[in-house]
Amino acid sequence: MFRTVTRTLFVAGVVALFAMPSLAEAKKTFHVDNAHSQVIFSVKHLGAGLFYGQFLKVSGQLVLNGRSKSTLSVKVKAGSVFTNSKKRDKHLRGPDFFNAKQFPIISFKSTKIYKLAFGRYRAYGILSFHGVKKKIKLFFKVTKEVKDPWGNTRIGALASISIKRKAYGLKYMPKGLGNKVKLIISLELIKSKK
């Protein structure tokens, strides 16, 4: 009798413990710190080396919420492209490439995120680029929370993905530029205090 009651109480306690939301899985909202975030791209140039550029204006939000309820949204201003050449940057903003006037925002919005081990996540979502929307999958890693000197809680998030530029309507210089474009998304985010 005593053993049965003890076993029942133990099982009930274990069930209750796992049913309780842990602090590690509590919902947390973070916003991109543009001053410390980068979106970098690389593409093969003339069959020789890789050419690199970046976008200077990045915004977005990451909500960490358990194993399968997290969300990620990132927005990049196409007109903020920077390659250390004013003439080239102007060309990249034009209709031959990003056409930033007609398509000012490059964005990713998750539809489902799964938490993996060691701070890694697998995200499914929609990449909107140059007027084309495509479903993509990407993996990203989140660092541990740290306190900055001003009392904010910060994390980092890093992802990389390769896309085919022609699939998004970027067909200029088909022989001079590679079709494969690698994107590196390096974000630093600040936890919302609300």
Tell me what percent of the residues of the chain surpass a pLDDT of 90. 84
Tell whether the model's pLDDT for residue 15 goes beyond 50: no
Tell whether the model's pLDDT for residue 157 goes beyond 80: yes
How many angstroms separate the most distant Cα atoms in the chain?
85
Q: Enumerate the β-bridge partners of residue 11.
A: none
Q: What is the mean pLDDT of residues 41-62?
A: 97
Predicted TM-score of the model (pTM):
0.83
Averaged pLDDT of the chain: 90
Amino acid at the residue 21: P
Of 150, 73, 66, whose CA–CA distance to 115 is shortest?
Answer: 66
Q: What is the pLDDT of residue 3?
A: 54
Of 19-28, 89-98, 126-135, least confident by mean pLDDT is 19-28
Alpha carbon distance 138, 10 (integer Å):
41
* Domains of the chain with CATH codes: 23-191 (2.40.128.110)
Q: Enumerate the β-bridge partners of residue 36.
A: none
- Alpha carbon of 32 to those of 75, 87, 109: distances in Å? 10, 29, 14
Q: Phi and psi of 104, rounded to 5°?
A: -70, -20
